[in-house]
């Protein structure tokens, strides 16, 4: 099942509704491969395509004492902490990921991890 089919097959919160300004980077999958909206990370973009921040689930908010929308250093922290989860999730939907980012998820996240650690150290 594609990511869009998965999201449309169940009633999920509006925050998980995909759009040109929102990309689901991570969500828990249940035993049937369906999205469980209890834990998620949604990347938000401006109309120009620049990353503006992340919407994160309440469980991630509680884990790090963050608000539901994070940006800047908090965004980098969440991305770094959840890099493996996001890579695994996106690998499950690799065809759609490659259409969107023009690179396989494992390649993207390997490079992104290095970049996020570099940015956090600056």
Beta carbons of 61 and 74 less than 8 angstroms apart: no
* Residues shown for the chain: 122
Q: What is the span of the domain harbouring residue 78?
A: 3-121
Edge-to-edge strand list for the sheet holding 35-45: 22-29, 35-45, 51-56, 69-70
Question: Which tens digits make up the pLDDT trace of 73-121?
Answer: 999 999 999 999 999 999 988 988 898 889 999 999 999 999 988 888 8
Helices 94-101 and 105-121: crossing angle in degrees, nearest 10, is 60
Tokens of 2: 């594609």
Split into its structural domains, the chain has a count of: 1
Predicted confidence band of residue 33 (pLDDT cuts 50, 70, 90):
confident
Whether residue 10 is predicted with pLDDT greater than 60 in this model: the reply is: no
Integer-rounded Cα Rg, in Å, for the chain is 14
Predicted TM-score of the model (pTM): 0.82
Contacting residues for 39 by C-beta, under 8 A, at least 6 apart:
26, 27, 28, 57, 59, 60
């Amino acid at each position: 099942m594609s990511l869009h089919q998965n999201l449309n097959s169940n009633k999920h919160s509006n925050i998980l509704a995909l759009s040109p300004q929102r990309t689901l980077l991570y969500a828990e999958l249940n035993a049937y491969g369906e999205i469980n909206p209890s834990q998620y990370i949604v990347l938000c973009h401006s109309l120009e395509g620049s990353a503006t921040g992340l919407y994160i689930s309440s469980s991630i908010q509680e884990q790090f004492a963050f608000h539901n929308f994070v940006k800047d250093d908090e965004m980098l922290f969440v991305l770094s902490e959840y890099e493996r989860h996001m890579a695994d999730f996106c690998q499950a939907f690799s065809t759609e990921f490659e259409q969107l980012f023009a690179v396989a998820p494992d390649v993207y996240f390997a490079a992104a991890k290095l970049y996020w650690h570099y940015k956090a150290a600056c």
